[in-house]
Structure 1
């Protein structure tokens, strides 16, 4: 039987040096201990396929990093804006005091933005009560209840309006129908427009002018008090008659109908108005970083699988990753120092 220790297929070349005890072997030179040790610890090369994958990821990373850096602005790191960004994150992720309020806030915000249209629609329905006008109002409500998509809704409303106009004799009545259709079209352009129209149509709201009262309350809030919820609660308490009738229209959850909830809602709406333009750009930055992050994760995985202490790494492995400094900046800005919670999700 072959001795596995001396079998060249296992131990390599059958050199005389292998039979010499280590204490009798030279440190350097042919058969030296140093040469054998270096052979054993020599680092492996990173596979070509892995290098190609890394280069591919870096190509995308460079593009996304350049775009992100072009969008980035000092306004995004303003402390008040960052507080608003954290609130928006809590809203969209249903966290803390802002849980379950996102859609209700958007409905209230739209109601305030389109208040003139809602008031005009209500006044038209109350003032023009002819048979054909009422037929038109009922037709619109039927469309809303059947959850028509926006494009179909506008098309059917305009077609019906033309049909009704022929049968309305007075110029005043015709103008009222035209204006009614225009307001319907305007509101329906919003994402939640049709839903809010139906909620108003089926509500028992007797005075639509409270929308103006709520808008005035929000406009009157001083920005220096915007993060003081207690002061905002006082504001709501002083105008509760304007807020309370809207609770069903804006679909507040049954467990979230207290005064403090309205205070949080007007806080968000005020801040949204204050930072509307800045936040749109900030969202663009986050979307680009989201794309960047996917490639970044692949790159990190490669670096973890091929550490410098085991592999012979090309020099470029030590170069900074484009966009990483920007990413780490926002990780720091959007991390709560007390709780460690990160108000940013790029996954």
Structure 2
């Protein structure tokens, strides 16, 4: 009977190191995994769409930034409206000077802190020159909305774009926001099902094309249908998506030591080598990984919609 060979020390060490590392990630995966994720086909579609957008694949190439800008516009719409109403109603000389200062600041600040500090300083100087209490309250509220927008740099960029294109009809954003909320109660697995609503609201979407940096060749109903599907699904699954994103981040870190373990075990198979007992143990997190690998693999093409970092 042929004597089995001994697994080299360096291979045993590499296997041990990877096993130590993967045990930590495996425990995190156990905590973050939820079977409910895997039962929801619509949620799975969102995860796949987000992968296509993040990697600029096929029809989703070049529109990720536009979706993020449109989403940020919708989230900031109430602040935009207050800012616009204040600028329209309070037209004194000092107020207009303040508005002009803000317009310049929107295109000339280096950080959120820089924007907020300079804005606060200008507000203090201007308030001493505003005679009415109503005017002072309005300017404080105006500044408060700008400070709020400054927490989201995309929102400030959008305000600047709206002003540069002289597009102050923020009711467009309210229309799209209401459309997204309306659709969130419906099944949107097939983006084509959105066509009637998108065609009916096409002028609204088209008006925002330049603001959201949408390439002219992509300004068409099909693109807006795809964008709206993503917005609706992200609105619908806000919390689950954040939870799943945390899990997928752990899986990405888990995957490298997993590959290392598999490589060592395959290089020193049991029919030729005297494997130590830990070579036969199950790998922490593997069962969960295989579930998500199956869930995020397109059955018809075999494409895996999962970033494993390689």
* Fold in common (TM above 0.5): yes
Work out whether residues 225 and 232 of structure 1, in 8 Å CA contact, stay in contact via their aligned partners in 2: no
1:156 aligned to 2:118?
yes
Tell me the distance in 2 between the aligned counterparts of 1:228 and 1:46: 53
Q: CA deviation at 1:147?
A: 4.3
Tell me the distance in 1 between the aligned counterparts of 2:248 and 2:241: 10
Runs of 4+ with >3 A deviation: 222-225
Deviates more, 1:322-331 or 1:307-316: 307-316
Residues 156-305 of structure 1: pairs in structure 2 closer than 5 A: 156-221=118-183, 223-305=185-267
The Cα offsets for residues 286-344 of structure 1, whole Å up to 9 and x where unpaired, read as 01111111211221222233222332111221111111111111111100010111000
Q: Secondary structure at the match of 1:297?
A: helix
Work out whether residues 45 and 189 of structure 2, in 8 Å CA contact, stay in contact via their aligned partners in 1: no
Tell me the distance in 2 between the aligned counterparts of 1:346 and 1:213: 38
Tell me the distance in 2 between the aligned counterparts of 1:282 and 1:148: 33
1:50 aligned to 2:11?
yes
Work out whether residues 45 and 311 of structure 1, in 8 Å CA contact, stay in contact via their aligned partners in 2: yes
Q: Which residue is 2:105 aligned to? A: 143
Q: CA deviation at 1:345?
A: 1.2
Work out whether residues 71 and 231 of structure 2, in 8 Å CA contact, stay in contact via their aligned partners in 1: yes
The Cα offsets for residues 182-213 of structure 1, whole Å up to 9 and x where unpaired, read as 11111121242222222122122142222112
Tell me the distance in 2 between the aligned counterparts of 1:154 and 1:140: 11
Tell me the distance in 1 between the aligned counterparts of 2:67 and 2:142: 26
Tell me the distance in 2 between the aligned counterparts of 1:147 and 1:165: 22
Work out whether residues 150 and 194 of structure 1, in 8 Å CA contact, stay in contact via their aligned partners in 2: no
Work out whether residues 42 and 189 of structure 2, in 8 Å CA contact, stay in contact via their aligned partners in 1: no
Tell me the distance in 2 between the aligned counterparts of 1:310 and 1:156: 72
Deviates more, 1:218-227 or 1:173-182: 218-227
Tell me the distance in 2 between the aligned counterparts of 1:309 and 1:141: 74
Q: Secondary structure at the match of 2:216?
A: coil
Tell me the distance in 2 between the aligned counterparts of 1:115 and 1:142: 21
Tell me the distance in 1 between the aligned counterparts of 2:126 and 2:284: 62
Q: Secondary structure at the match of 2:217?
A: coil
Work out whether residues 162 and 168 of structure 2, in 8 Å CA contact, stay in contact via their aligned partners in 1: no
Q: Which residue is 1:76 aligned to? A: 37
Work out whether residues 54 and 302 of structure 1, in 8 Å CA contact, stay in contact via their aligned partners in 2: yes
The Cα offsets for residues 220-268 of structure 1, whole Å up to 9 and x where unpaired, read as 2264441333331210221223222111111111221001211111111
Work out whether residues 184 and 235 of structure 2, in 8 Å CA contact, stay in contact via their aligned partners in 1: no
Tell me the distance in 2 between the aligned counterparts of 1:112 and 1:222: 15
Q: Which residue is 1:11 aligned to? A: none
Tell me the distance in 1 between the aligned counterparts of 2:45 and 2:152: 27
Distance change (3 Å), C-alpha of 1:62 and 1:151 = same
Work out whether residues 54 and 299 of structure 1, in 8 Å CA contact, stay in contact via their aligned partners in 2: yes
2:64 to 94, 102, 105: 102
**Number of residue-to-residue matches in the alignment:** 308
Unaligned residue ranges in structure 1 (runs of 5+): 1-37
Unaligned residue ranges in structure 2 (runs of 5+): none
Tell me the distance in 2 between the aligned counterparts of 1:238 and 1:285: 39
Work out whether residues 75 and 81 of structure 1, in 8 Å CA contact, stay in contact via their aligned partners in 2: no
1:67 to 15, 22, 28: 28
Rg comparison, structure with higher value: 1
Q: Which residue is 1:113 aligned to? A: 75
Q: Secondary structure at the match of 2:224?
A: helix
Distance change (3 Å), C-alpha of 1:295 and 1:191 = farther
Instruction: Please report the RMSD computed on the Cα atoms of aligned residues, expressed in angstroms.
Output: 1.6
1:133 aligned to 2:133?
no
